Amino acid sequence: MKQKIYHLLAISSLSFTVASCSWLDLEPGTAISPDVLGQQEVEQLLTGTYRSLQNNPGRDTWVLFDMRGENLINTYLSGSNDFVNNDIPSSNSTLLTMWKGYYKAIFNANTTLATLSTLEKNAENGYIESQARFLRAYAYYCLATRWDGVPILKSNTQEKVKRDRQDAVFKFVNEELEYCIESGYLKSFAETSDAPFYVSLEAAQALKARLALAMNDKAEATALAEKLIQNSSFSLSDDYDNIFNSTNNSEVIFSFRNSTSEGAQNLYALFTTYDSPMKGSWFLCPSPESEQMFNDPADRRKETCITTLQSTSGTYVIMNKFRDYTPLIVSRIAEMYLISAEAQGLKGLDRLNELRRHRGLPDLRPISKEEYQRAVALERRKELYCEGFLFFDLIRTGKIDEEVESMKGKTDYYLPLPESEVQYNPALNEYN
């Protein structure tokens, strides 16, 4: 009984254990032995994995890559100036927070999967396994898009491991998502209890569609996006503001809960002043370029994305998408329309126009290939404003040198490895 209690305590304090030193530097005495854990504990481990991805990569990670893409300007948050200027030292503390956060989630997912391997194989445990594998895949997708190549850890280890190249990481993520989709254990969105806060079949399809676009598999990206577009559970909303301020909407496929009881990120605090009703810190504000994007008064997204805030100290132009405990959206149906539109080329014009109509904008007439590509890119930038896509979109489309002033002349678009992690494990400088 004492042994069981000890391991339950270990589960509850898992995040502190992993963060205490390094993601690869766990003391043998602090590791959880899966063979003494049971059904109740594996469910707790899964919950810990959800919370790790929600909380531990850090609040700033949800907007850092809009900063790097010049959607946002830093007012005085010193630690993030490096990201605004795209001159990030390996000693940057936010860098380390992100890295450890994602690997903490992977550690939790691996522990969940190792524990499941000791339990009966049934539908309930298959569902848990698929959720854990999805969350691990999502963490690896985030790591690979941010750092290029990273170590793939399918099980927890204390060995000094090398990095795997980005294409290998993407291949692993794709395989994990294929398992989630094809195994039959994931429930549909309509059948998932408390959707969109738990992984559904559609959540796996949405992430796989995003991955396919990143891997330049346009046929796969189109097929997956279209499957979701034609799914009766989702539809574009005419009320853009409601998407971010209510769980009762038709657009969100998967999100993290972001409640006070689960360590809410309070993203809105980055964009509001302390003397405003929302008591923010005024760290970030819209760039002049992003303000100009929404100059069409018919665009229903404008007031949600950028608005004017009156406080006791003055008038401020703010990014207005996040308020109070807005859920942290991972995927929504509008992204699928944009994936389909981009992957199909000019054949996707109908999907682009359908999205525009729901945002209050007129249809685009037939245009050249180059004009169409620019139109899709602009629509993505407006629709997904401050949802973490911009910098990666610019890398994928080869426009980063052209669009981001601070990246001109640079050849490495990815984040440096955290200095302290390389000190713990010099093998991170090498590739498998």
Please indicate, yes or no, whether residues 28 and 135 belong to a single structural domain of this protein.
yes
Out of 124-133, 203-212, 258-267, 386-395, least confident range: 258-267
Residues 6 or more apart whose CB falls under 8 angstroms from that of 405 comprise: 70
Please indicate, yes or no, whether residues 309 and 430 belong to a single structural domain of this protein.
no
- CATH code at position 129: 1.25.40
Please indicate, yes or no, whether residues 173 and 281 belong to a single structural domain of this protein.
no
Residues 6 or more apart whose CB falls under 8 angstroms from that of 305 comprise: 286, 290, 294, 319, 320, 321, 382, 385, 386
Please indicate, yes or no, whether residues 284 and 180 belong to a single structural domain of this protein.
no
When pLDDT is averaged across residues 127-155 and rounded to a whole number, the result is 97
Per the domain annotation, does 206 fall within a domain? no
DSSP per position, 146-212: HHSSB---SS---S-PPBBPHHHHHHHHHHHHHHHHHSS-SPPGGGSTTTTSS--HHHHHHHHHHHH
Q: Name the residue among 41, 195, 169 with its Cα closest to residue 106.
A: 169
Q: Which of 298, 319, 340 is the last residue of a domain?
A: 319
Instruction: Give the model confidence (pLDDT) of 46-98 as tens digits.
Output: 999 999 898 778 777 888 899 999 999 887 655 567 888 888 999 998 899 99
Please indicate, yes or no, whether residues 30 and 144 belong to a single structural domain of this protein.
yes
Q: Name the residue among 221, 170, 214, 206 with its Cα closest to residue 343.
A: 221
Per the domain annotation, does 348 fall within a domain? no
Q: Which of 284, 302, 319 is the last residue of a domain?
A: 319
Q: Write down the pLDDT at residue 26.
A: 41
Q: Name the residue among 43, 44, 33, 25 with its Cα closest to residue 7.
A: 33
Per the domain annotation, does 285 fall within a domain? yes
Q: How far apart are CA 253 and CA 311, in angstroms?
A: 35
Q: Write down the pLDDT at residue 187.
A: 96
Per the domain annotation, does 72 fall within a domain? no
Please indicate, yes or no, whether residues 290 and 429 belong to a single structural domain of this protein.
no
57's tokens: 């990569």
Per the domain annotation, does 77 fall within a domain? no
Q: Name the residue among 417, 411, 404 with its Cα closest to residue 92.
A: 417
Phi, psi of 150, rounded to the nearest 5 degrees: -145, 160
Q: How far apart are CA 216 and CA 199, in angstroms?
A: 25
Considering Cα of 428, then 102, then 254, then 155, what sign does the dihedral take? positive
376's tokens: 């899709």
Cβ pair 180, 168 in contact under 8 A: no
60's tokens: 């700033």
Out of 85-94, 180-189, 413-422, least confident range: 85-94
Percent of all residues in the chain with a pLDDT value above 70, rounded to a whole number: 90
Number of compact structural domains in the chain: 2
Q: Write down the pLDDT at residue 38.
A: 77
Give how far the C-alpha of residue 320 lies from the chain's centroid of Cα atoms, to the nearest Å.
19
E-strand ranges in 312-377 read 314-319, 328-332
Instruction: Give the model confidence (pLDDT) of 275-312 as tens digits.
Output: 887 778 778 899 999 999 999 999 999 999 999 988 88
Cβ pair 334, 239 in contact under 8 A: no
When pLDDT is averaged across residues 353-373 and rounded to a whole number, the result is 95
Q: Name the residue among 202, 151, 158 with its Cα closest to residue 172.
A: 151
Please indicate, yes or no, whether residues 305 and 430 belong to a single structural domain of this protein.
no
CA distances from 379 to 214, 306, 393, 396 (A): 18, 16, 12, 16
Q: Name the residue among 389, 271, 248, 250 with its Cα closest to residue 321.
A: 271
Phi, psi of 311, rounded to the nearest 5 degrees: -125, 180
Please indicate, yes or no, whether residues 182 and 92 belong to a single structural domain of this protein.
yes
| Domain span including residue 153 | 1-59+84-186+421-432
Please indicate, yes or no, whether residues 143 and 291 belong to a single structural domain of this protein.
no
The CA angle 390-394-395, to the nearest 5 degrees, is 120
DSSP per position, 300-319: TTHHHHEEEEEETTEEEEEE
Looking at 193-301, list the stretches that DSSP marks H as alpha helix, in order from N- to C-terminal side. Answer: 201-214, 218-229, 240-245, 288-293
Please indicate, yes or no, whether residues 285 and 146 belong to a single structural domain of this protein.
no
Per the domain annotation, does 431 fall within a domain? yes
Q: Write down the pLDDT at residue 32.
A: 57
Per the domain annotation, does 54 fall within a domain? yes
Per the domain annotation, does 37 fall within a domain? yes
Q: How far apart are CA 161 and CA 175, in angstroms?
A: 21
Burial class (CB in 10 A: 0-12, 13-18, 19+), 365: exposed
Please indicate, yes or no, whether residues 37 and 181 belong to a single structural domain of this protein.
yes
Q: Which of 319, 336, 352 is the last residue of a domain?
A: 319
pLDDT at 25 exceeding the cut of 60: no
Q: Name the residue among 409, 355, 402 with its Cα closest to residue 383.
A: 355
Instruction: Give the model confidence (pLDDT) of 241-282 as tens digits.
Output: 999 988 889 999 999 988 777 677 788 888 888 888 777 877
Please indicate, yes or no, whether residues 114 and 19 belong to a single structural domain of this protein.
yes
